[in-house]
Structure 1
Amino acid sequence: MESIRVYAPATVANVACGFDIFGFAVNRPGDEVVLTKKASPGIVIKEITGDEGRLPKEVAKNTAGIAILKYLEFIGQPDQGFELSLHKDMPLGSGLGSSAASAVAGVFAVNELMGKPLSQKELLPFAMEGERVACGSAHADNVGPSLLGGFVVIRSYDPLDIIQLPTPTDLYASIVHPQIEVNTKDARRILEREITLGKTITQMGNVAGLVAGLLTADYDLIGRSLVDVIVEPARSILIPQFQEVKAAALGAGALGCSISGSGPSLFALSKGEETANQVALAMSKAFNSVGIDSESYVSQINQQGPMIR
């Protein structure tokens, strides 16, 4: 195989109470990479679409490019040449793991073309290098679910330890992306560096409750646990109409609602597709009521991760 087209899904990270440790994949939106072997050494980024010209074509500064580069170095094939086309199908700075999806699509594609010497899980450190380029931190709560599919827990970074959790079959996510942008570095900068023991205990209880709710398909417990007392209060001030949109989601029947990643996208979890559609509509209407346009997506938890097209 000399060329391949790979799609990698968007993700919701943090999932309310699980800052930097929880994430899940959705069916759409996502990013697509077309990767083709070439005879001469080096990686060339031929084109990038959907980014309004904002993303670098320099390999070492591009999330897909650096992930491929680090992978080739690791397997001892640094001189293998590739031509890369990247097609962005989600907004930059959306809180939906845009940089992660590009990195995942790239490293999954190159592993396929090189004969799959590494397992899918072994590709994770290279995708994380894409995140380091994008926001300065090699975190895994977006690349993990985008690469592996499903709902993941990052138990540890040293050593890297990622666990995939089963999710109830009738659990749906509603995602609404308002036409505003929140920079990930800015969203991290405003977080408190120290938190009280009381908040820590509350957050730990919600983390444990969410895991238990997913494992037992207890939708009420999932809803009670989707509460973030540490990060959401700080980051929500960066998102206009946040409280009204969250109230609209809960009023329409959502189990819970919070910020996707660093925002500005918001996500809600619901039982059943019909409720999830109603929740997405209510959230969009709440943004639109103050003149903020938005895009919405409704999806089950994506269990597959990247796929060859």
Structure 2
Amino acid sequence: MSEWIRVFAPASVANVGPGFDVLGFAVSRPGDIVEVRKRRTPGVVITDIRYIRKQDIGKLPQNPKKNTAGVAARNVLTTLQERGVVDDQSGVEIKLRKSMPLGSGLGSSGASAVGAAWAVNLLFGGTMAKHDPDLILACVKAEATLSGFHADNVAPSMLGGFVLIRSYEPLDIIPLDAPENMVSVVVNPEYKVSTRMARAALPSHAPLKEVVVPHYANVAGLIAGILKKDLLLLGRSIDDKIVEPVRAPLIPGFYDVKDAALSHGAFGCSISGSGPSVFAITDSLERGEVIGRAMAKAFEKHSLQSKTYVSHVNREGAKRVD
């Protein structure tokens, strides 16, 4: 048997307020660990899944056709076969370490897909670059088996930093360099909001002048804040007029948590992905710790315990680890 290749894939904050399905950034923690090695028979198998939370145990399918790590690995293996890098008798064994909770709004399934995709690529020589559209598309298609065709989790998890998805057909991904002093505060309550449920809450239309125009102005403000390295502009542009109002009721105490973040120095705050995690941004780890404690205390008032992650933006994305 060959040696194991071990990859860490970071969690991500998708949407970033008004940037629904088009903006995301990677965080330094938490993340998933995926291990792969070659096997003597063709195809992909998942032989072990371990979980950080007891309540998640057994909830992920070990069938590689129904697990995002397995689907992404198969997609990359197929691409490598089409490119003549490996033959059709190549196979892969996967072990998955879920170091992040399921249904957290932090791109858990996306991180599993990214970890598997990058690990398989490295296992067979690393011929695909991280920005290779086929590599990221392999992860997007894996995500689609679970929660829809979107790249705002998998792209930042793979590439690191901020990512703009300009187009899905064709897939056009634009990496953006996050401000050096940007710190993210993510608070994940002991509560679950499924991506499908969150998407079902989305409105079918919105008034143009009152909602759509200011919404897109905020998306533009976010991009301008990133490019100008202006955290205050970035923060005040995290003002979602369309998605946040309909998803907020799915998260107990959301507005109290948001108020706590802003009143303790956060520059901006909103729902991470589909929720229930809530994120905020600030300019120092020390201030981030203060904000995180205030957010967690607000969740406690609604009888929810939570886990807080304070970190700089992850700029490396998926990486091999010992």
TM-score of Structure 1 vs Structure 2, range by shorter chain? over 0.9
2:112 to 99, 102, 109: 102
Partner of 1:53: 58
Contact 1:209 1:221 in 2 (8 A): yes
Partner of 2:150: 139
Distance 2:149 2:224 in 1: 28
Secondary structure in 2 aligned to 1:72?
helix
Distance 2:62 2:212 in 1: 42
Distance 1:38 1:208 in 2: 48
Distance 1:194 1:261 in 2: 20
Q: CA deviation at 1:79?
A: 2.6
Structure 1 residues 72-151: aligned runs within 5 Å: 72-76=77-81, 77-122=87-132, 123-135=135-147, 137-151=148-162
Given residue 7 of structure 2, which amino acid in structure 1 is its aligned partner?
Answer: V
Tell me the alpha carbon deviations over residues 74-118 of structure 1, each in whole angstroms, 9 at most, x when there is no partner: 221443111110000111110000000000000000000111221
Q: What are structure 1's unaligned runs of at least 5 residues? A: none
Q: CA deviation at 1:307?
A: 1.3
Distance 1:86 1:138 in 2: 22
1:192 to 195, 203, 213: 203
Contact 2:266 2:281 in 1 (8 A): yes
Secondary structure in 2 aligned to 1:75?
helix
Distance 1:54 1:46 in 2: 15
Secondary structure in 1 aligned to 2:24?
strand
TM-score of the superposition, structure 1-length normalised? Answer: 0.98
Structure 1 residues 1-309: aligned runs within 5 Å: 2-50=3-51, 51-76=56-81, 77-122=87-132, 123-135=135-147, 137-198=148-209, 199-309=211-321
Q: CA deviation at 1:219?
A: 2.2
Distance 1:156 1:240 in 2: 33
Given residue 291 of structure 1, which amino acid in structure 2 is its aligned partner?
Answer: S
TM-score of the superposition, structure 2-length normalised? Answer: 0.94
Distance 1:78 1:58 in 2: 20
Distance 1:81 1:217 in 2: 45
Contact 1:108 1:306 in 2 (8 A): yes
**Aligned-pair RMSD on alpha carbons?**
1.0
Tell me the alpha carbon deviations over residues 200-241 of structure 1, each in whole angstroms, 9 at most, x when there is no partner: 110111011111111112222112211000000000000000
Distance 1:117 1:166 in 2: 25
